[in-house]
Amino acid sequence: MGAGTGQARAGHGTAPRADPAETVIAARDLDLTFETGDGQVHALKGITLDIRKGDFVSFIGPSGCGKTTFLRCIAALEQPTGGSLSVNGMTPDEARRARAYGYVFQAAGLYPWRTIGRNVSLPLEIMGFSRAEIAERVARVLDLVDLAGFEKKFPWQLSGGMQQRASIARALAFDADILLMDEPFGALDEIVRDHLNEQLLQLWARTDKTIGFVTHSIPEAVYMSTRIVVMSPRPGRITDVIDSPLPRDRPLDIRDTPEFLEVAHRVREGLRAGHAYDD
Amino acid sequence: MRRTVLPVLTVLAAILVIWYAGAVWLNAAWAQDRATRAGVELSLVELVADTWAQDKPKLPAPHQVAAELWRTTVEQKVTSRRSLIHHSWVTLSATLLGFALGTVLGVALAIGIVYNRVMDMSVMPWVIASQTIPILAIAPMIIVVLNAVGISGLLPKAMISMYLSFFPVVVGMVKGLRSPGIMQLDQMTTWNASPAQMFWKLRLPSSMPYLFTSMKVAMAASLVGAIVGELPTGAVAGLGARLLAGSYYGQTIQIWSALFMAAALAACLVALIGAVQRVVLRRMGMA
């Protein structure tokens, strides 16, 4: 199930992506069990999934379905207990050390003692970029997320949405090809969220990154993604992979089209199936 | 401004009233005694006046302490043995040295506790145990032992100050260095930051508010340590020596003026750290 069925149904028109060489993240039969006081918890069971270059993949499912855990496995923040996982052809930890991905957490996590500019430059300092290179990159990525002119502000002087944009700029600053985002807009209100969704899509179109995006929101997942991975809990597993028939260029009002509603319906069905299994 | 001045003045006035009343109550017996021996009868006004003007009262009145402070600070040359400024400087130098040593030791221990599992499991109980030993019991031993190996003067007193002042710094810095959340540490991991980078760029800046709060407590403790360190040696200089000499000769006014000097010194030092804290945290954008 999972990736296999998803690929069989592939109906994506724009990006040709059949070449297996372009697979950047490959999971085969991935397992992860946590030992807790009440015994074993199957956070992930039998996850098999390929993510290809330039994909925007959303992971959606109820709490405990392992969507965040899977993202953390890709980032080498968790160690799988079975199966195999490769990122850019390396182990996740090698990929982490090669700085293959940028990770955006649910909270912006900006350092209060650093200005926005210096927050964005933090990973660059850590990675040893030259001073001139840092200045150039900070200016470029802040411009990319529409925060030019806010370099000198401290995080508390910015709204929540602007802070999250700054944290996306920070994840983009060192040119990783993969962007992993764990409910980046979960704490923001609907209006700000719409706006940021649109901006993120534009940014993705301009930079050709591969994006892994964890979300609770069906409209968000359908609006953003080229592929939607539906997951269900206990044990955390993939119940459906949907290749979106929507074009890459997506105005906000695409959400009222029949195609959009059909995909959303299928996601909802997938989520419901997962829950029925649960009860 | 007026909103803070009025309550402060009210409290101050209340303290003065209680203090003057206390002086009458505690010193009246001696005044009566002396009057009886001289065969005179004291009116109430004369009695009160006497209790506020004795040479060696049980409790000196505020104006007596103020006069003594004036006489021993402004009217004496600072080099004089009678100058309270001179004695304060002796105590202050030991306080500052001990505070510096204590802060360095405290930060070093905290780093060890946060980064080394063995130290994490073993050091803290000893640190806490060290503070349960009465300083009055251990101070003479430190002085005597260091004297035996030829170290005397400023350093033994500073060691006692250090002994008292490293504790709040250890406790505060352990808390501060551990204040970054899991998310912030994970974030550093995703950038493949080295442990040194994690320390300098995340843990240390996060701990700054904790460090300054600890240093205020440590500074006050350090001053107490320096004064205690002057007591058992029969030191000839320092606020502790003034207290001791005052108690030998029943010079209560001298004791109280030394106490007030110590309190003022502590207040100034803590306020100084507060000022540095404000400047540093503001420059860091955290205040």
Cβ–Cβ contact A222 with B under 8 A? no
Residue B72 within a domain: no
B9/B48 Cα distance (integer angstroms)? 25
For position A18, what pLDDT does the model report?
46
Q: Is A154 an interface residue toward B (CB < 8 Å)?
A: yes
Kindly provide the ipTM of the predicted complex, given to two decimals: 0.80
- For B202-239, the pLDDT digits (tens) are 999 999 999 999 999 999 999 999 988 888 766 678 88
Q: Which pLDDT score, from 0 to 100, does residue A145 have? A: 82
Please check whether residue B99 is in contact with residue B222, taking contact to mean a CB–CB distance below 8 angstroms.
yes
Residue B71 lies in a domain: no
| Cα→Cα distances B234→A107, B113, B143, Å | 60, 38, 11
Q: Give A126's contacts in chain B (Cβ within 8 Å).
A: 188, 191-193, 197, 201
- Co-location of B116 and B241 in the same domain: yes
In a domain, B67, yes or no: no
**Which A residues in the span 71-110 are in contact with B, Cβ-Cβ below 8 Å?**
75-77, 96-97, 99, 101-103, 105, 107, 109
Final residue belonging to a domain, choices B26, B44, B59 = B59
The total number of residues shown for chain A amounts to 279
Residue A208's CB is within 10 A of a number of other CB atoms, namely 10
Q: Which residue of B has its CA nearest to A172?
A: B191
Task: Assess if residue B70 is contained within a domain.
Answer: no
Question: What's the whole-number average pLDDT of chain B?
Answer: 88
**pLDDT (tens digit, 9 = 90+) per residue, B8-46?**
999 999 999 999 999 999 988 888 888 888 888 888 888
The whole-number pLDDT of residue B220 equals 92
Do B23 and B142 fall into the same domain?
A: no
CB B111 within 8 A of CB B117: no
pLDDT reported for residue B265 = 92
| B190:A77 CB<8 A | yes
Mean pLDDT of B85-114: 93
Query: How far does the CA of residue A155 sit from the closest CA of chain B (Å)?
Result: 9
Q: What is the pLDDT of residues A128-147, one digit of tens each?
A: 889 998 999 899 889 888 88
Tens digit of each residue's pLDDT (9 = 90 or more) over A4-26: 443 434 444 444 444 544 888 88
Give the residue from chain B lying closest to A122, CA to CA.
B201
Q: Judged by CB atoms within 8 Å, which residues 183-202 of B form the interface with A?
A: 183-184, 186-193, 197, 201-202
Report helix angle B2-38 to B62-73, nearest 10: 100
With a cut of 50, say whether residue B84 has pLDDT above it: yes
CATH number at residue B140: 1.10.3720.10
Any B CB within 8 A of A114 CB: yes
For A216-226, what is each residue's pLDDT tens digit? 888 888 888 88
- pLDDT at site A5: 40
Is pLDDT above 70 for A123? Answer: yes
On whether any CB of chain B is under 8 Å from the CB of A150, the answer is no
Give the residue numbers spanning the domain of B178.
84-283
Please write the tens of the pLDDT for every residue from B225-284.
998 888 876 667 888 888 888 888 888 888 999 999 999 999 999 999 999 999 998 888
Residue B233 pLDDT = 65
What mean pLDDT, rounded, does chain A reach?
Answer: 82
The pLDDT tens digits of the residues spanning A222-279 come to 888 889 898 888 888 888 888 888 888 888 888 888 888 888 888 888 888 776 544 4
Confidence at residue A89, expressed as pLDDT on a 0 to 100 scale = 84
CB pair distance less than 8 Å for B285 and A114: yes
Q: Mind listing the pLDDT tens digit for each residue in A182-198?
A: 988 887 788 878 888 88
Within this chain, do residues B95 and B53 fall inside the same structural domain, yes or no?
no
Domains present along chain A, CATH in parentheses: 3-100+179-278 (3.40.50.300), 101-175 (no CATH)
In this model, does residue B201 exceed pLDDT 60?
Answer: yes
The pLDDT of A65-85, averaged and rounded, is 88
User: Does a structural domain hold residue B143?
Assistant: yes
* Per-residue tokens: B43: 């009116």
Any CB–CB contact under 8 A between B204 and chain A?
no
- Pair (B117, B216) in one structural domain: yes
Q: Are residues B89 and B21 in the same domain?
A: no
The whole-number pLDDT of residue B234 equals 61
Asked whether residue B137 falls in the same domain as residue B234, the answer is yes
- Does B4 contact A at CB distance below 8 Å? no
| Nearest neighbour of B285 by CB, restricted to A96, A103, A113 | A113
Interface of B with A in 146-185 (CB under 8 A): 183-184
What is the distance between the alpha carbons of residues B165 and B148, in angstroms, rounded to a whole number? Answer: 24
Question: By C-alpha distance, which of B218, B243, B226, B271 is closest to B90?
Answer: B226
Whether residue A96 and residue B192 make contact (CB cut-off 8 A), yes or no, is yes
Residues B42, B129, single domain; the answer is no
Same domain flag for B167 and B251: yes
Domain count, chain B: 2
Mean pLDDT of A152-157: 90
Does residue B75 lie within any of the structural domains? Answer: no
pLDDT value for A13: 40
pLDDT at B1: 60
For residue B55, give the amino acid letter: D
Residue A91 has pLDDT above 80, yes or no: yes
Q: What is the mean pLDDT of residues B53-72?
A: 88
- Residue B235's pLDDT is 64
